[in-house]
Amino acid sequence: MHYLKFKYIIYICLINILFSCKNEGLNINNDEEIKIVQRGSKVIKGSEGDVELKINDITGGSTEVIIEGIENEKIYYKNYMGEGEDGIFQYGMYYYRIKINQFEEHIFHDDYAFIAFRSVSEEKGKKNAQIITYEKETNISPDEIRNQFNKIKTSGLNFIRNGEIWPDSIMADHLENKYLINNRDIKTKEDFIKKVVNTSSLSGETYKVINNNNDTINLVKWLNL
């Protein structure tokens, strides 16, 4: 009798351990898509507090993606992402990849993004996870802005604006002029991204750069903003 009772206690303990392990980290299934409307949000349950997945306007093939703690208001991930692009972030002791599989764009009503998560190894996570050094907004100084323009101007790369290829110096001059027009409204890094370096004011298309590997990537991502 004592032996059977002992076995039962061990069985219950093992079950509790298995369920507690299962509920650690974010409550997500690998590669399961989350459909989210632009300017919308979804709540994801987590063992260290629920988080909110938010996206802004889908413009020119990209959108700003934010993962924020609901109670602690911690920013776990924040980046401008295009279709097919991914990033890695840390939540507690765990690391996850977030990827925009595709956009669903409509003329007469709101656009949607299909976003998937996947857990990644600690080794990969530590190597590639985005480092968040801000709370909700990050102040940006004139010197930092000047450095971004200089990075473009001296890059030796070509840039894409409204489907046309522009050399580095011309692209830098265009963005500097754009900054001068909007500089009174630019106080934070987020303002600088939104009003200057993310998309064309004319067409709404995302600025892109052709890097040394001949890959075309979003300018904001290349600037590491």
- Tell whether 26 is covered by a domain: no
Say if residue 187 is in the same domain as residue 123: no
Closest CA to 223 of 184, 187, 192, 181: 192
SS3 81: strand
The 3-state secondary structure of 93-123 reads CEEEEEEEEEEECCCCCCCEEEEEEEEECHH
Distance CA 69, CA 53 (A): 9
Say if residue 72 is in the same domain as residue 158: no
- Tell whether 188 is covered by a domain: yes
Residues 84-89: contacts with CB within 8 Å, 24+ apart?
A: 85/218, 85/221, 87/130, 88/120, 88/124, 88/125, 88/128, 88/129, 88/130, 89/129, 89/130
Is 70 exceeded by the pLDDT of residue 141? yes
- Tell me the pLDDT of the chain averaged across its residues: 86
- Report residue 118 as tokens: 């996947």
Domain boundary among 128, 153, 188: 128
Domain boundary among 106, 128, 150: 128
Say if residue 100 is in the same domain as residue 124: yes
Q: What is the pLDDT of residue 6?
A: 52
pLDDT tens digits along 40-59: 999 999 998 999 999 988 87
Q: What is the pLDDT of residue 61?
A: 81
Is 70 exceeded by the pLDDT of residue 133? no
Q: What is the pLDDT of residue 51?
A: 95
Say if residue 53 is in the same domain as residue 124: yes
Say if residue 152 is in the same domain as residue 180: yes
Q: Is 161 exposed, middle or buried (0-12, 13-18, 19+ CB in 10 A)?
A: buried
pLDDT tens digits along 180-220: 998 888 888 888 998 899 998 888 889 999 999 999 999 99
Q: What is the pLDDT of residue 7?
A: 55
More confident residue, 224 or 34: 34
- Tell whether 135 is covered by a domain: no
Domain boundary among 99, 128, 157: 128
pLDDT tens digits along 150-159: 999 999 999 9
Say if residue 46 is in the same domain as residue 120: yes
- Tell whether 104 is covered by a domain: yes
- Tell whether 9 is covered by a domain: no
Q: What is the pLDDT of residue 21?
A: 47
- Tell whether 124 is covered by a domain: yes
Secondary structure letter of residue 206 according to DSSP: B
**Residue 111's domain spans which residues?**
33-128
